Amino acid sequence: MAVAAIELKNITKRFGTKVVANKNVCLTAYKGEILSLLGENGSGKTTLMNMISGIYYPDEGQIFINGEEVVIRSPKDAFKYKIGMIHQHFKLIDVFSAAENIVLGLEEEGKYDIKTVTARVKAITEQYGFDLDPNKKIYEMSVSEKQTVEIIKVLYRGADILILDEPTAVLTPQETQKLFAVLRRMREDGKAIIIITHKLHEVLSLSDKVAVLRKGEYVGTVNTAETNESELTEMMVGKKIDLNINRSEPKDSVDRLEIKNLNCVSEEGIKTLDNVSFTVRSGEILGIAGIAGSGQRELLESIAGLQPIESGEIIYHNPKTGKTDELRGKSPIQIRELGVRLSFVPEDRLGMGLVGNMDIIDNMMLRSYRKGKSMFLERKKPKDLAERIIKDLEVVTPSAQTPVRKLSGGNVQKVLVGREIAAAPTVLMAAYPVRGLDINSSYAIYNLLNEQKENGVAVVFVGEDLDVLIELCDRILVISSGKVSGIVEGRGADKGEIGLMMTKVDGGAESGC
Amino acid sequence: MAVNEKHIKEPLFHITKRTDIPKLTAWGIRLIAVLAALIVSALVIVTITSYNPIEVYIKMFEGSFGSERKFFILLQNTAMLLCVSLAVTPAFKMKFWNLGAEGQVLVGGLSSAACMFYAKDSLPSWLLIIIMLVTSILSGVIWGVLPAVFKAIWRTNESLFTLMMNYVAMQLVSFFIMVWVPNGSSVMGVLNQRSECGWLPTIFGQKYALNIIIVAVLTVVMFVYLHFSKQGYEISVVGESENTARYVGINVKKVIIRTMVISGAICGLTGFLLVSGTNHTVSKELAGGMGFTAIMVSWLAKFEPSMMIFTSMFIVFLQKGAGEIATAFRLNESVSDILTGIIIFFIIGSEFFINYKINMRSKHKEAE
Amino acid sequence: MISTIFAFINAAIIQSIPLLFGATGEIITEKSGNLNLGIPGIMYMGGISGIIGGYIYEHSTASPNAALCIIIPLLSSIVGSLLLALIYSFLTVTLRVNQNVTGLALTTFGIGIGNFFGGSLLSFFGETGSISLIKTGQCFKASLPFANKLGLFGKTFLSFGFLTYLAIIIALVTSYFLNRTRAGLSLRSVGENPATADAAGINVTKYKYLSTLIGGAIAGLGGLYFVMDYTGGAWTNNGFGDRGWLAIAIVIFAIWRPTTAIFSSFLFGGLYILCIYIPGLSSSAKELINMLPYVVTILVLVIISMRKKRENQPPASLGLSYFREER
């Protein structure tokens, strides 16, 4: 048996006293092999890889490189053992050029000369067929260019063990294929490659072995050739769970929100929403499916009045007055003043939806504190609301005066959703509301959404788990790179079909290199 | 495979952020820090003077509590420092680093002095006082709001901007003194000495009583403002997360500007109190570094107005005490800055042990 | 007229040197993301430490050796500055205390030490009067022997003590270091984005410490220049004035570039003494001219933030402490 390029034994990592991100994880990767690390969001994949690359330090356990036990205390140690990680969030210095970023932190022999570096970078780009100007500054680059820089950085260092954290999340299918070709070439060079992903088709088409994590724990490793999608899914999510989400038929469904030809451009000048049109109806749940970063956030934020819009219309059909209102270009307050009861559960709970350092009561006030003419705060009603939410949604907390950052993820989400629902909305938008939650909390959230739907609220649900989307939603809107690739009925929807729509790209204009 | 007997180097400890610490423990840590600082200061005193440090500390105490007059001066100085600290606090809560309180106080004082200089005794004292108050507050506001506007619109670095504004203010004071005192002595005498026009009245037989009362009221107002008003709530939200503020529709730019108006206004008020109530003249040293000390006062009190009463008094006590030592033992008065420095280093350093926990690495050999 | 202009240039250069030392030191420090507002205090400390070293040496020997007259104050100045910079680094980097609070406390502390020892040093040795190290001052002021023979040009540009040239050399070397060396690249990355630097295997703590220490030592030389060369070995309490803050202003004015700092220091130094050379200027107008450096610095700060050119911004993590496991 060959010596493993890298072996992890019983790695445990805790954050604070309560959160166990990794528990007794074992993992082995060999040279000349591609290992997929599979797991749902929040299963501890990234934390584990961060310990190999020296960002975190494990609380317990051992790491072996080529059969010898090592201690990786810092990213520098990781480099020493020829470990290279390509992070999901790029670790690049914006004001530096590509070449400067590539050589950053490298201790090469001889005098530092950016021209030599540039020449070497050019050689690597030509060898692998990348398209990159080494002198371009990072802040002028597109996302895929930035990823190219990250990959070249690792290649430049001649890493033997490569870790890629969800590298395809930001790429078009063509770019993905190109990346896979590069990875296969590196495998032939005898490198050990670990790729983190939760996309099964990528796992099956690329890797030799698959290691699965579930809730921070190691489930097992299988040979790709001997497995299939359903077995992997089972390993990933545990034993096959029938989701059993109740779904009632929409009643008295009418048009509530009309989105017409919506276009958005990011601060960097990249088109995030491209001619998006759809209708949200009362008394139904509209699901939004898509690869992370396909414009979901921009879509919800532009409806909520938090994103500047290039062009298009957002029309609200007011059930009280029977009139229609244009929401485009209005601030959240102006939208509220129109009598539009729009609630929004954002993806970033503690960075946007709630204030971590404030207690539950003060977080309740975020939406309502303006009410009344008095210049002073009224804390009685928020306090009652906080206590009601704690009781009704079974929030586990020492008291209503506890800062929300001390609560667990599920309880934080209950507080947030509870507050948004308490405003008696006519439109409720929720972005990844069950991300990082355990099964019970997730069901609590599904039930809350269903309740709202039955009350005639128009619910928009952005999800990442296709099974949930198919079982929960009445209709599913699929977006891909900021464009609507189709809307399907939730009942009887085909997972494969949605999956294909998610990766659909028309033409080859943007990837014709 | 051979059993791995090799000694493996492990980090001795690593540091994690605390989420929770009992209040009592926190104050215990701070107390230890103060004690440690006093011991180090004692060592410094002994090394440079060879006096008995206990005697020196007793003298230090006398500096603030030795007589009724000294005690009132302590209160008056505390009140002024507290007033500036109250001014910078809302800005800090918003994570706006207003390092320009010194300048904002100075222009406030300068405006008051200008009113007194030009009006002389031509107006009734009460009217002059009102005019002084208004102009002082206005000029403090202008000095404070200028960096805020640029921060709000163009994200101009506010700590550097406000810092530079201090020296513009100082030169402005020097300029006006040169204009007003043509004889070249560059020292402004007491204004309206005879008429006492524009002087804050003496009440309860105490010259500084009014200053102290005004600041006491202001402390309560600031406490209520930060904790119970809608605007105070908005300040906290913006300070904690601009993203959340945006999400709930708070106009972040407006809050930044509005809060700096308040911050500048209170600084301007301090300038007025210093000129009208205390010094009756103006100089470059009017604020005497309070703008900077206030930053420490506010930070040590965790931006909590009620705690700032104690932190500001503590720092004034240190300065007065060290000053007393200096005279009693015929030392240079700068010794007070040295001792204050040492004690502040210890207290701010101790915050680390309140916010972070040091974990010793546990051995895991038995796992093999 | 010509001679007046040359005299002005000469005086401006003299004024600019402490500023340049301070600015270069602060640039190196800020490039690591540490906004060290303790620099004014460190400059006082550098000055008084040099004075103490020089005083002890000059009074321990009957015939002071010229080389030692330079080396001892130089070393003691560096040690003093390093000590304060170490306090700052320890508090802000290791203990992660707020940088503004630490820096301001350090300035109070440093100025306190300067004025305390400046005022009491003689009494420790049972003497009275004021400190005056004539011999040491002469050694620091010693210029190239042929400078005065080269006429006006020599007098204007070559008649300075060695610290003047050292200031310019350090600024040039710093510029080379920041832009042309591996370590310089690493240092800049720490100030821009410490998490990224950390991930790239750069020891963020080491860089923050070293740059703050080296920056502090360089800034301290500004204080040393002032007491040894400028005043010729004499100390007056608060004599150094607000030059430390002016140095911080230059850092902004020069948009964090050491070579630009050379010219900025010259400009600010010139403004400092301009009023003496403009005939008939009132003393009040003089104060307005002294205001100019701060006003233009604010203007520069505003303009770079409005133009939003990424290369001209302050180091992105300036003023923030770094904790790797922040979650």
Q: According to the per-residue pLDDT averaged within each range, which of A405-414, B67-76, C34-43, C93-102 is highest?
A: C34-43
Q: Is the pLDDT of residue A316 over 80?
A: yes
Contact B104, B144 (CB under 8 A): yes
Alpha-helical regions (H) of chain B = 23-49, 53-65, 68-93, 101-119, 125-154, 158-180, 209-228, 230-240, 242-247, 252-272, 290-300, 305-328, 335-355
First vs last Cα of chain B: how many Å apart? 14
Least confident of B70-84, B334-348, C240-254: B334-348
DSSP B202: P
pLDDT of residue B184: 67
Residue C249: C-alpha distances to residues A325, A333, C22, C242 (Å): 52, 41, 10, 11
Residue A124: C-alpha distances to residues A79, A94, A389 (Å): 19, 22, 57
Show which of residues 94-113 on chain C sit within 8 Å of chain B, judged by CB atoms. Answer: 94-98, 100-102, 104-109, 111-113
Q: Is the pLDDT of residue B367 over 60?
A: no
Cβ of A105 and C189 within 8 Å? yes
Q: Is the pLDDT of residue B344 over 90?
A: no
ipTM of this model?
0.84
Pair of tokens at residue B119: 């009006």
The secondary structure of B297-357 as a DSSP string is HHHHTTT-HHHHHHHHHHHHHHHHHHHHHHHHTT--TTHHHHHHHHHHHHHHHHHHHHHEE
Q: Which of C267, C235, C238 is nearest to C254 (CA)?
A: C267
d(CA C194, CA C204) in angstroms, rounded, equals 6
Q: Which of B48, B164, B337 sits opposite C249 (nearest CB)?
A: B164
- Residue C226: is it exposed, middle or buried by C-beta count within 10 angstroms (0-12/13-18/19+)? buried
pLDDT tens-place string over residues C159-216: 788 899 999 999 999 999 999 999 999 999 999 999 889 878 888 999 999 999 999 9
Q: Do A207 and A280 lie in a common domain? A: no
Q: What is the band of A236 on the pLDDT scale with cuts at 50, 70, 90?
A: confident
Give me the number of domains chain A comprises. 2
Cβ of C199 and A93 within 8 Å? no
Q: State how far residue B352 is from chain C, nearest Cα, in angstroms.
A: 5
Least confident of B29-38, B199-208, B306-315: B199-208
Does any CB of chain B come closer than 8 Å to the CB of residue A131?
A: no
Cβ of C112 and B160 within 8 Å? no
Q: Which of B8, B237, B364 sits opposite A355 (nearest CB)?
A: B237
A252: left (phi over 0), alpha (psi -120 to 50) or beta: left
Cβ of B296 and C115 within 8 Å? no
The secondary structure of B122-159 as a DSSP string is SS-HHHHHHHHHHHHHHHHHHHHHHHHHHHHHH---HH
Per the domain annotation, does A383 fall within a domain?
Answer: yes
d(CA B70, CA B61) in angstroms, rounded, equals 11
Q: Residue B260: give the domain boundaries.
A: 69-309
Q: Which of B11, B20, B241 sits opposite A351 (nearest CB)?
A: B241
d(CA A93, CA A89) in angstroms, rounded, equals 12
Per the domain annotation, does B235 fall within a domain?
Answer: yes
For A192, phi then psi, to 5°, come to -95, 125
Cβ of B241 and A69 within 8 Å? no
Q: Do A284 and A212 lie in a common domain? A: no
d(CA A56, CA C317) in angstroms, rounded, equals 21
Show which of residues 103-122 on chain B sit within 8 Å of chain C, judged by CB atoms. Answer: none
Q: Do A18 and A111 lie in a common domain? A: yes
Q: In what order do the strands lie in the sheet with A475-480?
A: A342-345, A427-431, A458-462, A285-289, A475-480, A483-489
Q: Is the pLDDT of residue B175 over 80?
A: yes
pLDDT > 90: percent of chain C = 45
Does any CB of chain C come closer than 8 Å to the CB of residue B334?
A: yes
Which residue among A203, A237, A271 closes a domain? A237
d(CA C280, CA C289) in angstroms, rounded, equals 14
d(CA A28, CA A210) in angstroms, rounded, equals 10
Pair of tokens at residue B173: 């004071």
Q: Which chain A residues are closer than 8 Å to B364 by Cβ?
A: 60-62
Rounded to two decimals, the pTM is 0.83
Identity of the residue numbered B107: V
A91, A115, A117, A150: which to substitute to probe chain C, counting the most C Cβ within 10 Å?
A: A91
More confident: B3 or A55: A55
Per the domain annotation, does B43 fall within a domain?
Answer: no
C305, C307, C313, C324: which to substitute to probe chain B, counting the most B Cβ within 10 Å?
A: C305
pLDDT of residue C159: 76
- Closest-CA residue of A relative to C190 is A93
pLDDT of residue A513: 30
Q: Which chain B residues are closer than 8 Å to C323 by Cβ?
A: 15, 17
pLDDT tens-place string over residues B261-286: 999 999 999 999 999 888 888 888 88
Does any CB of chain C come closer than 8 Å to the CB of residue A104?
A: yes
Give me the number of domains chain B comprises. 1
pLDDT of residue B324: 79
Per the domain annotation, does B247 fall within a domain?
Answer: yes
Cβ of B163 and C323 within 8 Å? no
Q: What chains are in contact with B, requiring at least 3 Cβ pairs below 8 Å? A: A, C
Please give the mean pLDDT across all residues of chain B: 84
Q: What is the band of A187 on the pLDDT scale with cuts at 50, 70, 90?
A: confident
pLDDT of residue B13: 65
Does any CB of chain C come closer than 8 Å to the CB of residue B99?
A: yes
Does any CB of chain C come closer than 8 Å to the CB of residue A369?
A: no
Q: Hey, CA dihedral for A297, A301, A302, A304, is it positive or negative?
A: positive
Cβ of B335 and C297 within 8 Å? no
Tell me if residue A28 falls in helix, strand or coil: strand
pLDDT tens-place string over residues B222-234: 999 999 999 999 9
Q: Do A206 and A351 lie in a common domain? A: no
More confident: B288 or C20: C20
Q: Is the pLDDT of residue A18 over 80?
A: no
The secondary structure of A199-252 as a DSSP string is -HHHHHHH-SEEEEEETTEEEEEEEGGG--HHHHHHHHHSS--------PPP-S
Q: What is the band of A510 on the pLDDT scale with cuts at 50, 70, 90?
A: very low
More confident: A458 or A371: A458
Identity of the residue numbered A312: G
Q: Which chain A residues are closer than 8 Å to B254 by Cβ?
A: none
pLDDT of residue A504: 59
B338, B343, B346, B353: which to substitute to probe chain C, counting the most C Cβ within 10 Å?
A: B338
Contact B19, A404 (CB under 8 A): no
d(CA B313, CA A11) in angstroms, rounded, equals 51
Q: Do A232 and A260 lie in a common domain? A: no
Cβ of B341 and C282 within 8 Å? no
Alpha-helical regions (H) of chain C = 2-31, 39-60, 66-89, 99-124, 134-141, 151-157, 162-180, 182-192, 194-199, 204-225, 243-253, 258-277, 283-307
pLDDT of residue B14: 67
Per the domain annotation, does A141 fall within a domain?
Answer: yes
Q: Is the pLDDT of residue B245 over 80?
A: yes
Q: Hey, CA dihedral for B300, B305, B310, B315, is it positive or negative?
A: positive
Q: Which of A467, C104, A8 is nearest to B294 (CA)?
A: C104
Per the domain annotation, does B320 fall within a domain?
Answer: no
- Closest-CA residue of C relative to A89 is C196
Residue B208: C-alpha distances to residues A52, A178, B132, B191, B212 (Å): 65, 78, 18, 17, 6
pLDDT of residue B80: 92
Taking residues A189-214, report their average pLDDT.
Answer: 84
Cβ of B160 and C301 within 8 Å? yes
Q: Do A259 and A233 lie in a common domain? A: no
Q: Which of A57, A21, A214 is nearest to B364 (CA)?
A: A57
Which residues are CB-neighbours of A232 under 8 A, at least 6 positions away? A38, A200, A203, A204, A210, A212, A222
d(CA A283, CA C38) in angstroms, rounded, equals 63
Q: State how far residue C83 is from chain A, nearest Cα, in angstroms.
A: 28
pLDDT of residue A237: 64
pLDDT of residue C291: 87
Q: Which of B92, B26, B73 is nearest to B226 (CA)?
A: B92
Q: Do A271 and A226 lie in a common domain? A: no
Q: What is the band of B7 on the pLDDT scale with cuts at 50, 70, 90?
A: very low
Per the domain annotation, does B303 fall within a domain?
Answer: yes
A371, A377, A379: which to substitute to probe chain B, counting the most B Cβ within 10 Å?
A: A377
Please give the CATH topology (third level) of the domain spanning C2-312.
ABC transporter involved in vitamin B12 uptake, BtuC (1.10.3470)
pLDDT of residue A17: 65
Cβ of A137 and C180 within 8 Å? no
Q: Do A261 and A232 lie in a common domain? A: no
Does any CB of chain C come closer than 8 Å to the CB of residue A292?
A: no
pLDDT of residue C275: 78
First vs last Cα of chain A: how many Å apart? 42
- Closest-CA residue of C relative to B15 is C325
Q: Residue A499 belongs to what H/E stretch?
A: helix A495-502
- Closest-CA residue of B relative to A332 is B249
Please give the mean pLDDT across all residues of chain C: 87
C177, C178, C180, C198: which to substitute to probe chain A, counting the most A Cβ within 10 Å?
A: C198
Q: What chains are in contact with C, requiring at least 3 Cβ pairs below 8 Å? A: A, B
Q: In what order do the strands lie in the sheet with A209-214?
A: A68-70, A60-65, A6-15, A19-29, A217-223, A209-214, A33-38, A192-197, A161-165, A83-86
pLDDT of residue A508: 32
pLDDT tens-place string over residues A381-403: 889 999 998 988 888 888 888 88
- A74-110 burial, b if ≥16 CB within 10 A, otherwise e? bbbebbebbbbbbbbebbbbbbbbbbbbbbbbbeeee
pLDDT tens-place string over residues A152-183: 888 888 788 889 988 877 676 677 788 888 88
More confident: A324 or A215: A324
Taking residues A295-313, report their average pLDDT.
Answer: 90
The CATH number assigned to the domain holding A363 equals 3.40.50.300
Q: Do A37 and A143 lie in a common domain? A: yes
pLDDT of residue A511: 33
Q: Is the pLDDT of residue A268 over 70?
A: no
Domain boundaries, chain C: 2-312
d(CA A410, CA A395) in angstroms, rounded, equals 8
CA A378-A380-A384 angle, 5° bins: 135
Q: Residue A349: give the domain boundaries.
A: 255-503
Does any CB of chain A come closer than 8 Å to the CB of residue C327?
A: yes
Pair of tokens at residue A217: 């724990």
Q: Is the pLDDT of residue A27 over 70?
A: yes
First vs last Cα of chain C: how many Å apart? 66
d(CA C2, CA B145) in angstroms, rounded, equals 46
pLDDT tens-place string over residues C28-48: 999 999 999 999 999 999 999
pLDDT of residue C218: 96
d(CA B31, CA B44) in angstroms, rounded, equals 20
Q: What is the band of A449 on the pLDDT scale with cuts at 50, 70, 90?
A: very high
pLDDT tens-place string over residues C104-151: 899 989 998 998 888 888 777 777 777 788 888 888 887 776 666 767
Tell me if residue A437 falls in helix, strand or coil: coil
Q: Which of C237, C290, C305 sits opposite B171 (nearest CB)?
A: C290
